[in-house]
Amino acid sequence: MNRRDESRAWIVTGALGALTLGIALIPLRAYTAASNFAFAFLAFTILVAELGGRTAALVTAVVSALSLNFFLTEPYLTLAISKPDDVIAFLALAACGLIAAAFGQRRERASEAAGRAGTELEVLKRLAVRLEERRPLEDALRHLQQSFGLRAVALRDAGDRIVAGVPAGSIPAAIPRTQLAAGAMFPPDEERVRFGAKGMRLPEDGARLHLGTGADSLSLDVWEGDPDGLTLDESRTLSVAASMLGVALTRRELARRT
């Protein structure tokens, strides 16, 4: 189940759960004031906010307030409220539910950020393993291609000859004219900047990253494979991956010379 489907599932769970809770508390309404039931709805809203995020918590808060009003507040089975205490309980539940939803939004953002960070670290970790084990360069380039949704990736020497590239036989013949700034993955020519649904897109004719190999004798050419572009985090991770590739190649060259 992806994140969108999970969010929808929690929205349904929160709405139906708030209605079910209101019905389940009906036998107790003769023994206590309606305002006391607000705590049960609030606890349920906080639970949904923690597990389901902002949208699910917001829906749960609204349905909880309506459920409290409809099933547990006199006159019953209407949305009218006759007692001032019940009005206060209704408004307090609605306000606290919205606060819980706001905290659910913070948790959701933190969870998404942690998930993205974990994914990026995993990409770099797998690249490091490939480089440390001295696997064929095509293996490392294929990993970058698949991880960042690139159409093609090529490693070229100072004479623009292809040292390694993927997919084999499908590397564009034209050499990219745009050189991306180190660390920023941003074209220096603002007129060539394009954006997709996720973020910045690579130039149509590809882009080049100089690998930090001393004399900049090696370059990594990349071509876009996803029109949605790269998020800022993906761009930074790709830049770090290129630097790792450059360092590894430098070490291999030094080891070969000695």
Q: Give residue 202's pLDDT.
A: 86
Measure Cα distances from 13 to 60, 86, 130 in Å.
8, 26, 44
CB 204 within 8 Å of CB 222: no
pLDDT tens-digit readout, 23-40: 999 999 888 887 788 889
Classify 162 as helix, strand or coil. Answer: strand
User: What is the reported pLDDT for 242?
Assistant: 87
How many whole angstroms separate alpha carbon 19 and alpha carbon 158? 69
Encoded tokens for 218 = 């090696």
Q: What is the pTM of this model?
A: 0.59
Stretches where the chain sits below pLDDT 50 are 215
For 225-250, the pLDDT digits (tens) are 988 888 888 888 888 888 888 888 87
Nearest in space to 242 (alpha carbons), one of 194, 180, 195, 198: 180
pLDDT of res. 174: 87
Nearest to 142 by CA among 245, 211, 240, 218: 245
pLDDT of residue 215: 46
pLDDT at 115: 65
* CATH assignment, 137-257: 3.30.450
Give the bridge partners for 224, in sequence order: 150
Copy the structure tokens of residue 221: 């050419």
Residue 124 vs residues 163, 240, 256: alpha-carbon distances, Å: 22, 8, 25
Spans of all domains in the chain: 3-115, 137-257
